[in-house]
Amino acid sequence: MKDTARQTLSRQQLDELAPRYDGLFGHGDRGDWMRRRVQETLLKRFRPGDRILEFGCGTGTDAVMLAKSGVSVTATDISPAMAELTARKVRLEGVEALVRVAVVDAGRLENLGGHMFDGAFSNFNVLNYLDDLDGFSDRIGGLLRPGAPLICTLLNRVCLWEVLYFAATMKPVRAFRRMTRRNEELMAGQAPLALRLYRPGVFARKLSRDFAVRRITGYGLLLPPAGFAPPAGRWEWIFRLAERLEKNLSGFPFYSLCDHYVIELERKALP
């Protein structure tokens, strides 16, 4: 089957990013905090002995973490370079017996050959770049057993922090665009990959035929999104306070205003 333009661009972008990825993320920045929070969720929902599918594995950080907890992971990514770095990390961490790495596009899960899994997840924004979310819903539903968790992290349609920032800095046009066309603002200056942003309720409805919502958690209500945070240092105590406050607020329905959200779904029983 011939690659789509999205697949070709995604692969090229991620292959170029792969050598720098671990240096850009996961070293005390806000993304590192969000990853830790998502990993807490993964460890609560996935148990030792489970067979889990990850789509958009990047360099394998989450797959290795789960494998060290006894979870078997099929880690997939559209980028061969990312998959190679994941395989290298798996070997270095000594978890080859529990992690299988494959080059698979999240939009073509049928290439997994019909394997059944006890759960699946995607960290960060993989699903925001899919051409066909309805098709993804059909395919992922066929790969998960009844009751299996599906945990997805997505960029939100609106981020209140950004809107308030541009309003406070006397940039009302930018504030309005962040409310109405956040995807276009985030795509500016990047490769022309379509970025599709969904409110949590909209995303849940698109998967509602096969999945029920168990929980939604927002990230980035008080903490600034990527690109807005000043360097750590004298501001670090403010970020630490914001982190604690956000964690305490996670049980409240503020997720529609956050930079990212994590939606925990569960595969419905087969008819």
Full domain range(s) for residue 50: 5-156+195-267
What is the CATH classification number for the domain harbouring 138? 3.40.50.150
Question: Who contacts 38 (Cβ-Cβ below 8 Å, separation ≥6)?
Answer: 62, 123, 151, 153, 262
Average confidence (pLDDT) per 10 residues, the chain, 271 residues: 55 66 58 82 96 93 96 94 94 96 86 84 89 86 94 94 93 93 78 81 94 92 76 68 78 84 93 68
Residue 115 located in a structural domain:
yes
What's the distance, CA 253 to chain centroid?
19
pTM, rounded to two decimals: 0.88
What's the distance, CA 193 to chain centroid?
17
pLDDT value at residue 231:
58
The crossing angle, in degrees rounded to 10, of helices 80-93 and 61-68 is 30
pLDDT value at residue 1:
43
Residue 92 located in a structural domain:
yes
Residue 163 located in a structural domain:
no
Number of domains composing the chain: 1
Nearest-angstrom CA–CA distance, 233 and 257? 27
Residue 162 located in a structural domain:
no
Residue 167 located in a structural domain:
no
Residue 189 located in a structural domain:
no
pLDDT value at residue 226:
74
pLDDT value at residue 190:
57
Classify residue 144 by its DSSP letter: B
Residue 187 located in a structural domain:
no
Question: Could you tell me which of 172, 14, 3 has the C-alpha nearest to residue 86?
Answer: 14
CA distances from 108 to 29, 53, 103, 162, 202 (A): 32, 13, 11, 33, 22
